[in-house]
Amino acid sequence: MFFYEIHESDEELGTAVLLAHEEQLEPAEFFALVKKARRLVKDSFEEDSLAEAVANELERSSGFVHITDERLLASVQVDESDEETFLLQADGMTRAVFLSRDGEGDDLN
Summarize pLDDT for 65-103 with one digit per residue, the tens. 999 888 888 888 898 988 889 887 666 555 454 445 555
How is the chain split into domains, by residue range?
2-69, 72-109
Please give the Cα distance from 17 to 11 (Å, whole number).
18
DSSP 41-98: HTTT--SSSHHHHHHHHHHHHHS-EEE-GGG--EEEE--SSGGG-EEEEEETTEEEEE
pLDDT at 37: 97
CATH number assigned to the domain with residue range 2-69, chosen from the 4 options 3.40.50.300, 3.30.70.2710, 3.90.1150.10, 3.30.450.260: 3.30.70.2710
Please give the Cα distance from 89 to 74 (Å, whole number).
4
